[in-house]
Chain A
């Protein structure tokens, strides 16, 4: 039996004005377990807290009920008071007789009666309280950033600058991501490479950063502060420590017909290659799918020309195991496939291209050395049609495209149109759009310049069909404002393809037990207040893996994610919330229903041996809650039909005792 003390606060006249506090204290004296009951003007004051401390000592109280303002105000205060008097701070319950009683009811008898009932409910609960101790777990002071685009780069740099070691895992042979493929960036039109590559070099040279390029995460175990991660380093057949990046091998390799993914297949590279001049790490990689030596055992040219002796045909995939305290997902995006958009003739004509392909066509390091030439015949295009929202805002055709707005297309299309008119003023440029969305600093001004200064023809309406005829592309479109059909003979059609999360994000989310939305974007812990954290503790989100973003937004989110990581890694120990779920292994039947509803992946299952009454043993599957990961929502407790799963601090019995006390 508990020895409970009840402390009724007047809160000046806030409570005492409509509640007879003395009557409340008197009535609660008779409740089971209550050995002491009093009232005071301001319980939260030092003098009030002293009354509580003295009573705990004098009456050997094992639990206290404070009838006062909302627990959201002073629960913590009174918990500290209890702790100072040597009582476990979770033996404190608050009856909210101010916000939910004296302030909403006008008549003294009504308020008093309700306050007594609320007090009884709190007493009934404390009777079933048990001391709780928050769990502690150590923090591994190292962060993992998955993805080496601008988001991952910025996050890694910020964490590393704060003094914590960071590893970047990137699937491609080089970091840099999509930004490395871009030509200019809106709205300032500075060159993407000029602002990105110094950051890439900084990453390479940073003493706190390691880059695992051409690698992927293959397994993640553990929880916040204590992740065990296995990284698969794919065999690149070139020793990274020996290769000097001189590129001799990439010039001599006889296999010249490999589609160059960096230029989106618009030209070819060799079987041994460095993706682009400023690649980091600047190390060659052998493409095992095309290398004659690896496929047939006959060639070996690269090995012969390599003066550093870096080529290793025997290389195997390697696995690195490392511990991390925090993980940042920065897996980025890709334009969606144009396969389902046959109305734009993407698969029928080389001159129908995506916007990212257009970037490469205008990039000085691209397949045309920066000259805007038609992919089919290398001629200069004189009429270019840009089509916006190809697969974006596609609510009616969800199986084809995406319901969401890809956010960046309006601006890069304005950029493409403007740059084209700037470099080639003899070119007619049409942009077909649903809406032009330009919310961002200096964005609308930029778009208006494209229209007003550069004479880009913006037409509200969608393109219905593109048909290749001879060396022209017949574009049929509607002009919604003029209310007429348009027919344009274009030389080049550029599709602003919707963007979607990288395919690696979904399996990564599964490994992290991080939640995703239906579009495979990572879900944030709170859409407004915790936008860079995943609901899964210790997992943070950077860049477009969380939703479509442009570069400035990505960089600021990357920095925000880094600051959250730094905040976590700066701690030596993590103190958990002790009000977490707990499964009674004797009752658990291992059905896995609880794990299905846990938003944090805090529940795992294991086989455990049980001794049976007849002295035999039996293996049974049971649920185990990781207290460091559980956030205490209690969803699992309702999913659990056997009642094995319960929530400390809000146990089934406690809530039912409150119900009973209220309904008595």
Chain B
């Protein structure tokens, strides 16, 4: 969206409850800044994230969607993030194939101890999406304000 003539992207971040959401909390505890454009949705596990949620976010006006989960091998549910990894590899490759900018989607593994990584990831992601500008290829004009 445009704020005072400046483009501010809208970022939806799905974070797994056990690692990444805790990592985001740790970023908070350590007062590590990242842009307020990032809004976090808590899910039990990254494998809970349905591709439909991602498309839905883009439809409603998100400019970037990022999924964060436990590092492979550390999933609270043992194997959830392995499935996430395959699903998202295939989905993102498909979105790329359809000409959707590949910088708008990302999966990042962030542990509960990686508050700094969480903040750095978000800073970087917001920067990349800002450079891309508004999401026009997966938006639904009816959802425009």
Interface residues of A (CB under 8 A from B): 70-72, 96, 98-101, 103-106, 110-111, 113-114, 117-118, 121, 515, 523, 525-527, 535, 579, 597, 599, 631-635, 637-639, 647, 650, 652, 655-656, 658-660, 662-664
Known: A103-B28, A659-B57. A634 touches B39 (CB 8 A): no
**When chains A and B are docked, how far (Å) is the Cα of A599 from the Cα of B84?**
13
B49 to chain A, nearest CB (A): 7
**When chains A and B are docked, how far (Å) is the Cα of A315 from the Cα of B61?**
75
Is there an interface contact between B41 and A121, defined as CB atoms closer than 8 Å? yes
Scoring B residues 10 to 29 as 1 if CB is less than 8 Å from chain A, else 0, what string do you get? 10100000000110111111
**When chains A and B are docked, how far (Å) is the Cα of A71 from the Cα of B57?**
23
**When chains A and B are docked, how far (Å) is the Cα of A72 from the Cα of B24?**
11
**When chains A and B are docked, how far (Å) is the Cα of A660 from the Cα of B33?**
25
Minimal Cβ-Cβ distance residue in B for A99: B28
Known: A72-B25, A662-B12. A113 touches B39 (CB 8 A): no
| A residues in contact with B51, CB < 8 Å | 638
Is there an interface contact between B33 and A647, defined as CB atoms closer than 8 Å? no
Scoring B residues 74 to 112 as 1 if CB is less than 8 Å from chain A, else 0, what string do you get? 101111100100010000000000000000000000000
Minimal Cβ-Cβ distance residue in A for B43: A650
Is there an interface contact between A656 and B83, defined as CB atoms closer than 8 Å? no
Cross-interface CB contact of B39 among A99, A121, A523, A597, cutoff 8 Å:
A121
Known: A525-B78, A647-B48. A105 touches B83 (CB 8 A): no
Residue B126 is within 8 A (CB to CB) of chain A in the complex: no
Known: A100-B25, A104-B27. A655 touches B45 (CB 8 A): no
| B residues in contact with A72, CB < 8 Å | 21-22, 25
Among A525, A634, A660, find the residue whose CB has the most chain B CB atoms closer than 10 A. A634
Q: A114-B36, A599-B79, A656-B53 are in contact. List 17 more A-B contacts (CB 8 A).
A: A70-B25, A70-B28, A98-B28, A99-B26, A104-B34, A114-B39, A527-B74, A579-B44, A633-B77, A634-B47, A652-B53, A656-B56, A659-B53, A659-B57, A662-B10, A662-B57, A663-B62
Sampled A-B contacts (23; CB under 8 Å)? A71-B42, A72-B22, A96-B42, A99-B25, A101-B28, A103-B28, A106-B33, A121-B39, A515-B78, A526-B78, A535-B78, A631-B77, A633-B44, A633-B48, A634-B43, A635-B47, A635-B83, A638-B49, A647-B44, A656-B53, A659-B56, A663-B10, A663-B61
**Count class of interface residues, chain B:** 35 or more
A657 to chain B, nearest CB (A): 10
Is there an interface contact between A117 and B39, defined as CB atoms closer than 8 Å? yes
Cross-interface CB contact of B44 among A101, A650, A660, cutoff 8 Å:
A650
**When chains A and B are docked, how far (Å) is the Cα of A489 from the Cα of B136?**
78
Is there an interface contact between B79 and A515, defined as CB atoms closer than 8 Å? yes
**When chains A and B are docked, how far (Å) is the Cα of A523 from the Cα of B75?**
12
Known: A635-B47, A635-B48, A655-B53. A105 touches B36 (CB 8 A): yes
**When chains A and B are docked, how far (Å) is the Cα of A525 from the Cα of B80?**
12
Residue B73 is within 8 A (CB to CB) of chain A in the complex: yes
Is there an interface contact between B40 and A100, defined as CB atoms closer than 8 Å? yes
**When chains A and B are docked, how far (Å) is the Cα of A641 from the Cα of B61?**
25
Q: List 4 A-B pairs, minimum CB-CB distance, nearest first.
A: A99-B28, A634-B48, A663-B60, A633-B77
Is there an interface contact between A634 and B36, defined as CB atoms closer than 8 Å? no
Known: A99-B29, A663-B62. A637 touches B48 (CB 8 A): yes
**When chains A and B are docked, how far (Å) is the Cα of A400 from the Cα of B22?**
43
Interface residues of B (CB under 8 A from A): 10, 12, 21-22, 24-29, 31-34, 36, 39-45, 47-53, 56-57, 60-62, 73-74, 76-80, 83, 87, 119, 143
| A residues in contact with B24, CB < 8 Å | 99-100
Minimal Cβ-Cβ distance residue in B for A579: B44
| B residues in contact with A113, CB < 8 Å | 36
Cross-interface CB contact of B45 among A114, A117, A634, A652, cutoff 8 Å:
A634
| B residues in contact with A535, CB < 8 Å | 77-78
Chain B facing A: main interface SS: mixed
Known: A104-B31, A104-B34. A599 touches B78 (CB 8 A): yes
Known: A655-B43, A655-B53, A663-B57. A599 touches B80 (CB 8 A): yes
| B residues in contact with A652, CB < 8 Å | 50, 52-53
Chain A facing B: main interface SS: helix
Minimal Cβ-Cβ distance residue in A for B10: A663
Is there an interface contact between A523 and B78, defined as CB atoms closer than 8 Å? yes
| B residues in contact with A658, CB < 8 Å | 41
| A residues in contact with B50, CB < 8 Å | 637-638, 652, 655
A135 to chain B, nearest CB (A): 17
Is there an interface contact between B119 and A104, defined as CB atoms closer than 8 Å? yes
| B residues in contact with A647, CB < 8 Å | 44, 48
Minimal Cβ-Cβ distance residue in A for B15: A100
**When chains A and B are docked, how far (Å) is the Cα of A101 from the Cα of B27?**
10
| B residues in contact with A635, CB < 8 Å | 45, 47-48, 77, 79-80, 83
| B residues in contact with A117, CB < 8 Å | 39
B135 to chain A, nearest CB (A): 10
**When chains A and B are docked, how far (Å) is the Cα of A215 from the Cα of B56?**
56
Minimal Cβ-Cβ distance residue in B for A597: B83
**When chains A and B are docked, how far (Å) is the Cα of A525 from the Cα of B76?**
8
**When chains A and B are docked, how far (Å) is the Cα of A397 from the Cα of B52?**
43
Is there an interface contact between A110 and B36, defined as CB atoms closer than 8 Å? yes
Known: A114-B39, A655-B41, A658-B41. A103 touches B31 (CB 8 A): yes
Is there an interface contact between B87 and A96, defined as CB atoms closer than 8 Å? no
B63 to chain A, nearest CB (A): 10
Known: A105-B33, A664-B60. A659 touches B12 (CB 8 A): yes
| B residues in contact with A633, CB < 8 Å | 44-45, 47-48, 76-77, 80
B12 to chain A, nearest CB (A): 6
| A residues in contact with B26, CB < 8 Å | 99
B118 to chain A, nearest CB (A): 10
Is there an interface contact between B60 and A527, defined as CB atoms closer than 8 Å? no
| B residues in contact with A71, CB < 8 Å | 42
**When chains A and B are docked, how far (Å) is the Cα of A118 from the Cα of B39?**
7
| A residues in contact with B143, CB < 8 Å | 663
